[in-house]
A = this chain, B = another copy of it.
Amino acid sequence: MNKSQKHVRDAGGASKFLYDYPRPALTVDCVVFGLDEGALKVLLVRRESEPFAGRWAIPGGFVNMDETVERAALRELAEETSLENVFLEQLYTFSRVDRDPRERVVSVAHYALVRLSDHRVKAATDAREASWFLADEVRGLAFDHDEILRVALERLRSKLTYKPIGFELLPSKFTLSDLQQLYETVLGKPLDKRNFRRKLLETNVLIALDERELGVAHRAAQLYRFDKRRYRELEREGRSLELP
């Protein structure tokens, strides 16, 4: 398509294109978080070609003409890591002039949260090598991906304290201890068990199921699921589920 472009800058009506200046390329990146045995992990793919061949990178790719950036991020994620149906939000747009050594590339970064329990196997099935790493030990990624990861972690931590996004990392049935451990892992600090439980239960956003944990060598814990409907009510009332 570019081959035959002939545009007039700021032309009135005839031209199909807006200007004939160089355009930065536009990509999306997607920082995928998952919880593995209580540890916060991030999904990376290994680069096959230059620049940064062999280095680990955040999955991503170019934006097509017929999709939003969020769609593009979901598509790339599916293509590169086989992940689908994940929670995804836009994070920030990174535009340092030299962030890609080949040419000018602006990237709209996103972050996604996945239930590793549902997706454990699939992640590495694609042609590209993909693997999970401890989120706060990762360093030396390609491009400016260290920075993107840092911003994503910050966002995850702060958003977790005022929005119920943590449930996106857990299986749909979970115990209160699972949930507390998730908060402790991500926020990096211990929480008081009784206060944590009271706070969550009194908002009624958790529904106690008729089931208990299985296969544990001690008293089996109550299972809950998150009540999205109830949460939206709370939100409308202005009450907002804040954790320390």
Contacts and interface: CB of A to CB of B under 8 A. Distances in A.
Contact of A69 (B1, B67, B93): B93
Contact of A49 (B3, B10, B96, B97): B10
A2 interface: yes
Interface stretch (A11-19, A79-87, A111-119, A180-188): A11-19
Interface residues of A, number: 43
So how many copies of this chain end up in the complex?
2
B103 A18 contact: yes
Interface string A54-83: 000000001111111110000000000000
A69 B2 contact: no
Given A1-B22, A2-B2, A18-B62, 19 more contacts: A2-B22, A3-B6, A13-B50, A16-B103, A17-B25, A18-B25, A18-B105, A19-B62, A21-B62, A23-B26, A26-B26, A63-B106, A65-B104, A66-B97, A67-B97, A69-B93, A90-B92, A93-B108, A95-B108
23 contacts: A1-B20, A1-B21, A2-B2, A2-B22, A3-B6, A12-B49, A16-B103, A17-B103, A18-B25, A18-B62, A18-B103, A21-B64, A23-B25, A24-B63, A26-B26, A63-B95, A65-B97, A65-B104, A66-B97, A68-B96, A69-B106, A93-B108, A108-B108
Interface of A: 1-3, 5-7, 10, 12-13, 16-26, 49-50, 62-70, 90, 92-93, 95-97, 102-106, 108
